[in-house]
Homo-oligomer: A and B are copies of this chain.
Amino acid sequence: MSARAGIVVTGTEVLTGRVVDRNGPWLADRLRDLGVDLAHNVIVGDRPEDVRAALGWLASHGVDLIVTSGGLGPTEDDLTAAVVAEFQGRPMALDEALEARIWKVLEGLRARWPDLDEEAIRRSNRKQAMVPDGATVLEPVGTAPGLVVPPRDGSAPTVLVLPGPPRELQPMWRAAVETEAFGRAIAGRTTYRQHMLRMFGIPESEIAETLVRARDAGADLDALEITTCLRRGEVEVVTRYEPEAQAEYDRFEAVVRERHGDTLFSDDGSSVDEQVARLLRSSGRTIAVAESCTGGLLGGRLTELAGSSEYVLGGLIVYSDEAKVALAGVDARLIARVGAVSTEVAEALADGARSRLGADVGVGITGIAGPGGGTEDKPVGTVCFSVSSAEGRLTRRAVLPGGRFDVRDRSTTVALHLVRRLLLGEHDGP
């Protein structure tokens, strides 16, 4: 049995959907790295009774560790530390040395906003320096300290209290893992193995059949925890298992490779983004984009990875037809003849991006993201793509499902897959 954990994400702004939670997923990944099994992730509002209820429920599930995020700020609705202290039966007391250390941080803040009220800052400072008796304090990255709060007796879980902002939570998690109190909480864990296979260009339902075939081929699937999902237009199959089940996993993977070899593009966890970056870097080639319906999202995605300036030169956002002509050099008569959303214009955009930026690889995207603008011939979701280099090109027309957000997001995925295949030597035509 591995150690088990639960996550409690606090914050009415997260519960009500105004803020997307980035901490739950990140913490889930880190727990998995440690071999800790995640039972549940509960999102609760800033009401003390709701935080308490979530802690109680997870404790009743027999988890060894509860990680909370959020509710450590200076405002009155930030009450996680007090609720956890009460839950663990440990009274709160002012940690004066901590108060002084936080004050130093706040003084920096005051220099930036000289008009702030000193008395208010002192109050915030004191609130954030209140610590449950017997807790291990994690030094704040912002102004809120984290806490490792062990149970008063051995039967209850340890609670790790972390602040909400990801840039504070992440380094403080790493500090927490090093503490003795944390180590005690998750002692005696099993290590799991995990493999991810990514496919592009098949429906998720095909995987159901693959599972049946694998079972027919003698794989004991009950020894494997297999999850499949559709993400940004790709199918991901993730399998988690104990080391003893390696042979079962190998049998399963062999069936997947046999049935999906042509669409399986990643078996090492790498994303298409990382593969494109690696292929560009290793071949010393540069890339440029010309985007219409995606409006810059592909450029944004290509430059997401640190170090992308080595191979991304830039691009053209050609939202209007005038911009397609003026910036990318598309022939206005071509647009008049076949329309701005056409494979011909996508090709002209790819070539225009290459020549205008002097890049080795050019990408052109033009489509109808909706909700308006669709016709019978070219319904909403119609997107034309072309990628080109001196060696050749790949051009495609697709009708992508979903609303405006999905069509635009998925367009960037399709474009990256075309770039990948071009860099691997695939071309259209004879």
Interface residues of A (CB under 8 A from B): 11-21, 24-29, 32, 38-46, 50, 53-54, 57, 61, 73-77, 109, 113, 116-117, 120-121, 123-124, 143, 165-167, 202-209, 211-212, 221, 225-231, 236, 238, 289, 291, 293-300, 302-304, 306-309, 312-320, 322-323, 326-327, 356-358, 370-372, 401-406, 408
In this complex, what residue of B is CB-closest to A206? B116
Q: How many copies of this chain are found per oligomer? A: 2
Contact present for B371 and A306 (CB under 8 Å): yes
Contact present for B318 and A314 (CB under 8 Å): yes
In this complex, what residue of B is CB-closest to A116? B206
Beyond A13-B229, A357-B326, is A74–B295 a contact (Cβ under 8 Å)? no
Contact present for B291 and A296 (CB under 8 Å): yes
Known: A11-B229, A16-B25, A121-B205. 4 other contacts (CB 8 A): A77-B227, A165-B230, A167-B406, A294-B300
Beyond A109-B203, A314-B319, is A13–B231 a contact (Cβ under 8 Å)? yes
For the complex, what is the distance from the CA of A231 to the CA of B164, rounded to whole Å? 11
In this complex, what residue of B is CB-closest to A286? B320
Q: Give 26 A-B contacts (CB < 8 Å), ordered by A residue.
A: A13-B231, A13-B236, A15-B40, A16-B38, A17-B25, A17-B26, A39-B50, A40-B44, A57-B57, A74-B205, A74-B208, A76-B211, A77-B228, A120-B205, A120-B212, A165-B230, A167-B401, A293-B303, A295-B300, A295-B304, A295-B308, A296-B297, A308-B319, A309-B319, A313-B323, A323-B357
Contact present for B314 and A205 (CB under 8 Å): no
Contact present for B314 and A323 (CB under 8 Å): yes
Contact present for B229 and A18 (CB under 8 Å): yes
In this complex, what residue of B is CB-closest to A371? B306
A46 cross-chain contacts in B, Cβ below 8 A = 227
Contact present for A295 and B303 (CB under 8 Å): yes
Beyond A298-B296, A303-B319, A327-B357, is A41–B13 a contact (Cβ under 8 Å)? no
Beyond A40-B54, A167-B403, A306-B404, is A204–B17 a contact (Cβ under 8 Å)? no
In the assembled complex, the CB of A400 is this many whole angstroms from the nearest CB of chain B, namely 11
For the complex, what is the distance from the CA of A169 to the CA of B2, rounded to whole Å? 35
In the assembled complex, the CB of A378 is this many whole angstroms from the nearest CB of chain B, namely 15
Contact present for B300 and A117 (CB under 8 Å): no
A27 cross-chain contacts in B, Cβ below 8 A = 17
In this complex, what residue of B is CB-closest to A53? B61
For the complex, what is the distance from the CA of A11 to the CA of B25, rounded to whole Å? 12
In the assembled complex, the CB of A276 is this many whole angstroms from the nearest CB of chain B, namely 14
